[in-house]
Amino acid sequence: MNITKESIDALNAVVKIEISEVDYKEKVAKVLKDYSKNATIPGFRKGHVPMGMVKKQYGKSVMIDEVNKLIQDSLNKFLVEEKLDILGNPIPKVQEDFSWDEQEFSFEFELGLAPVIDVKLDARKKITQYNIVADEELIDKEVENLQKRFGKMSAKDVVETGVNVTGTFVNEEKEIEKKFNFVLEDIKGKVNQKKFIGQNVGAVVELKSKGLFADEHKLMGATGLDHDAVHGLEIPLAFTIEDITFTELADLDQELFDKIFGEGVVTSATELREKIKEDAEKQFLGQADQQLLNAITEYLIENTKFDLPANFLKKWLAVAGENPLTEEQAAEEFEKSEKGLRYQLIEGQVIKDNNLQVTMDELKDYAKDFIKAQMAQYGNLNPEEKELEDIANRVLGNQEEAKRLQDQLISNKLLGFYKENMTFKTKEITYENFVKEVYK
């Protein structure tokens, strides 16, 4: 057997595999011998079927199977030994005059080669790194929310300022019938709020979906529709009032502080505000980090220039799935996936160049930390090491879950690396303005 590679250009190559009878003859003979021991053919006892008859009946199909196995094994070994970094999978070239009736065969496979990538982290236009702070307005709202959560609730006869309203939104055309609870101040505009003022349980309020809530995301909860469906939604809604309540705010005293944080952790309204600020900014850090990673990703895709074996990849996409694609469909699929492939290659290069690979020990430790955080939410703050080990092994035994945790850990490593090796433009911003600026 002989395997050779011919380079077409920097991104394309052809591997040629030449196979002679001596390469597969022995394996075919062994398989046919096993067949003869178990073959059941009328007129012959089991195990006594003449080899000639076995060869006549099974020889060609066995030979084809063994040649195909030899091709696959040899090609895989060649790719590893030659250290060829390929994209997609090798594509066999069609041979019009090919015949399995021969004893010697020649096969050719097209390869798409990964490009050489030079990732530069010195951004000319500095990427913005947001420092999201909890301002006084946000802290005030959270203090009030806590007072409401632990406050005393009482029933009201009619709707008035500051009450909680529960009822059902209905729109027959969109098949909406959704129970929802809100405070009157969630409703946007005095005109809409006046429709509720003075109404009692059982009243039906006629509304329009557009501009109904100050926070447009509440329309998702009110209608049961997803984000895309409520975007620009303009339909009539009938709201039947089913319950009216008023929450008397809890006093800002030690009893409230102990209920929220545990005995003695917070001892004054000032400490409460500081704790709210600290906890909020910890949560904001995760969102800021995700936004920073997204911005870095976009920057690297835009500014890391390299060619791809586009024609090969389109051809591979056409035959890679369960259902073959037309040339047009494959080109469309390539266009949709090109951006993701480019970052995948950039990310792989950064990981390789800077030894950011994830080890099994790191993955297990990360899984344990994740499990500990989950358990802490349910009050188990000090789980035993054996319990953590057992749960981590079960979690990592699930391939999908292990892949998800591995991807998270790699993202964390990459972000840490980028923070150490890139310079950013830092911007302090409130959470409200962060949402407006980043998700506008």
Across the strands, what pairs with 154?
246
According to the model, what pLDDT value does residue 35 have? 83
According to the model, what pLDDT value does residue 132 have? 97
According to the model, what pLDDT value does residue 58 have? 86
Nearest residue to 416 via CA among 351, 370, 359, 368: 351
**Cα 408 to chain centroid, rounded:** 9
Q: Supply the DSSP string of 370-429, one letter for each residue.
A: HHHHHHHHTT--S--HHHHHHHHHHHHHSHHHHHHHHHHHHHHHHHHHHHHH--EEEEEE
**Residue 341 tokens, joined:** 């492939």
According to the model, what pLDDT value does residue 49 have? 74
**Residue 306 tokens, joined:** 């390299």
According to the model, what pLDDT value does residue 202 have? 95
According to the model, what pLDDT value does residue 53 have? 82
Across the strands, what pairs with 179?
168
**Residue 36 tokens, joined:** 């003869």
Pairing of strands 127-133, 176-183: unpaired
Look at phi and psi of residue 135 and say left if phi exceeds 0, alpha if psi is from -120 to 50, else beta.
Answer: beta
Residue stretches of the chain with pLDDT short of 70: 43, 440
Q: Is 122 helix (H, G, I), strand (E, B) or coil?
A: coil
**Residue 56 tokens, joined:** 């006549």
Spell out the domains of the chain, with CATH numbers in brackets: 2-113 (3.30.70.1050), 152-248 (3.10.50.30), 268-438 (1.10.3120)
The C-alpha angle 198, 200, 203, rounded to 5 degrees, equals 105
Biggest CA–CA distance in the chain, Å, is 99
CA–CA dist 310, 29 (Å, integer): 43
Q: What is the dihedral of CA 374, 378, 382, 385, to 10 degrees?
A: -50
According to the model, what pLDDT value does residue 380 have? 81
- Segment (H or E) for 125: none
According to the model, what pLDDT value does residue 392 have? 93
CA–CA dist 113, 387 (Å, integer): 46
Q: What is the pTM of this model?
A: 0.76
Per residue in 31-57, pLDDT (tens digit) is 998 888 777 777 677 777 788 888 888
Q: Which amino acid is at 112?
A: G
Q: Supply the DSSP string of 10-30, one letter for each residue.
A: TTEEEEEEEE-HHHHHHHHHH
Q: Is 398 helix (H, G, I), strand (E, B) or coil?
A: coil
Residues in Cβ contact with 169 at an 8 Å cutoff, skipping those fewer than 6 apart: 176, 177, 178, 180, 222, 223, 237, 238, 239
Per residue in 75-124, pLDDT (tens digit) is 999 999 999 999 999 999 988 889 999 999 999 999 999 999 999 998 77
Q: What is the dihedral of CA 49, 53, 59, 62, to 10 degrees?
A: -30
